[in-house]
Amino acid sequence: MKNKYSIFSLIKNALSGHENWQRAWRDPEPKKEYDAIIIGGGGHGLATAYYLAKKHKLTNIAVVEKGWIGGGNTGRNTTIIRSNYLWDASAGLYDHALKIWEGLSQELNYNVMFSQRGVMNLAHNLQDVRDLKRRTHANRLNGIDAVWLNTEEVKKFCPIINTSPDIRYPVLGGTLQKRAGTARHDAVAWGYARGADAMGVDIIQNCEVKGIKRNGDQVEGIETTKGFIKSKKIGVVAAGHSSVLANMAGIRLPLESKPLQALVSEPVKPIIDTVVMSNAVHAYVSQSDKGELVIGAGTDSYVSYTQKGSHNIVEETLRAILELYPIFSRMKMLRQWGGIVDICPDASPIISKTQIKGLYFNCGWGTGGFKATPGSGDLFAHTIANDEPHKLNAAFNLNRFVSGDLVDEHGAAAVAH
């Protein structure tokens, strides 16, 4: 039984020098067999395990992670959460996630620092204006909050933006989703891990999957660095390495893995209290609770697993940031990094069964998976438990690349790719 985190437990532990906190999750050795195995201990994988245990009563399950939990893209994203996507299928998916975010800290008894500070998307040319207005209307028809702001309203909402008409890409307006915002990415992984562990889920870290064993068209288990683990249900949530795992199972995916970069500045006093994204000039920025500017850059055009990315991508982003926010001209950047994102041809994810029985894939989140973490976990758990997709992820099946029924979200994805 996990002790509940509260103001009282905080005081109690403060008085004993914070040395007696119960550990948040166990560090078990893998059993010989599980009812289900999740490959990938990021936010999505841990959320999947959490909902499998909680909603579908599957507790004899394991999450295997080659490094440490939350050490991949969960710890590398820019923590932006929003649901203002264009198509009905995406609206359903991302708003499902957003609704779970709204009560997540309470549900997990873990402060994920979800902050609905709003996300503003800027328009820099006439086509942007048309596209964003169209998206605003589509969002509202789907019950998602969205408003169009003209240039003056943009300036009022975020005064540090340079709205001068003579900059190279002037601000012609923008959309605002007020329910959108940010959360603490590590806390999301840790909160789900703690919750899943409390229900009996084994979280096995430093355990790399080396092979997926099939018997005909049925999965049998996984070869790992800690030996063979048997299971008839395997859910793969491996982000940039999805194709590597698909290859082990002998199937093909429509993915390309590319480095997506982000960077943070030195910490400063509060200066920007919202998230501003600008797809056309490829810059988005928010400020963390520590005071760092969190800046998202773009993807490289080529496949790479290096978690680095090219310097020119960062340069382009900072150029755009400086033109839009001249006040940042003397900020020093502290860290830069890359995460490997698996991008689908239609910039929408795959939460799907495969042609192999008992093998499920949750991948293709590309440049924007963090926002969907709770919804993705919930729907993937449903898909694994019932061997059928939930109606909210039915459109995000693998078969859409055969039928042609794509969900083209290139316009609403944060990063043009």
Q: 58 vs 245, which CB is nearer to other proteins?
A: 245
Closer to other proteins by CB, 68 or 305: give it.
305
State in angstroms the smallest separation of the CB of 409 from other proteins: 16
Contact 48, 38 (CB under 8 A): yes
**Distance in Å, CB of 292 to other proteins, minimum:** 25
**Residues 231, 257, 354, 373: which binds other proteins (CB under 8 A)?**
257
- What distance in Å separates the CA atoms of residue 317 and residue 330, rounded to the nearest whole number? 15
How far is CA 99 from each of CA 53, 95, 232, 406, rounded to the nearest angstrom?
20, 6, 32, 25
Helix (H) or strand (E) segment spanning residue 191: helix 185-198
381 and 320 Cβ atoms separated by less than 8 Å? no
Tokens found for residue 349: 């994810």
Instruction: Report 380-409 residues binding other proteins (CB under 8 A).
Output: 401-404
d(CA 120, CA 147): 9
E strand or H helix that includes residue 226:
none
Q: Does position 416 bind other proteins by CB under 8 A? A: no
Task: Count CB neighbours of 348 within 10 A.
Answer: 26
Binding test (CB under 8 A) with other proteins, winner from 39, 123, 180, 255: 255
- Please tell me whether residue 252 binds other proteins under the rule CB under 8 A: yes
Pairing of β 283-287 and β 359-363:
unpaired
Instruction: Supply the minimum distance, in Å, between the C-beta of residue 310 and other proteins.
Output: 4
The footprint of other proteins on residues 338-357 (CB under 8 A) is 342, 345
Asked if 258 contacts 343 with a C-beta cutoff of 8 angstroms, the reply is: yes
> In this complex, which beta carbon is closest to other proteins, that of residue 338 or of residue 368?
338
When asked if residue 241 is in the footprint of other proteins (CB under 8 A), the reply is yes
- Radius of gyration of the chain measured on its C-alpha atoms: 21
- By beta-carbon proximity to other proteins, the closer residue of 268 and 303 is 303
Site for other proteins (CB under 8 A): how many residues? 26
> Which CB, 345 or 411, lies closer to other proteins?
345
Residue 8 as a binder of other proteins (CB under 8 A): the answer is no
Nearer CB in complex with other proteins: 71/254: 254
Task: Give the nearest distance from C-beta 240 to other proteins in angstroms.
Answer: 9
Mask: binding to other proteins, 67-86, rule CB under 8 A, as x and -?
Answer: --------------------
> What CA–CA distance (Å, rounded) separates 318 from 307?
19
Query: Can you read off the two tokens belonging to residue 76?
Result: 């590398």
The neighbouring-strand residues paired with 276 are 120, 285
CB of 347 to other proteins, least distance (A): 13
Least gap, CB of 396 to other proteins (angstroms) = 14
* Binding-residue pattern over the window 301 to 320 for other proteins, x denoting contact by CB under 8 A: xxxxxx-x-xxx--------
- Whose CA is closest to 170, among 109, 129, 210? 129
* Residue recorded with tokens 């203002």: 84
Of 194 and 241, which has the nearer Cβ to other proteins? 241
Record the tokens describing residue 138, joined without a space: 């589509």
Length of the chain: 417
Residue with Cβ nearer other proteins (213 or 308): 308
User: Which residues of the chain form contacts with other proteins (CB under 8 A)?
Assistant: 241, 243-244, 247, 252-257, 301-306, 308, 310-312, 342, 345, 401-404
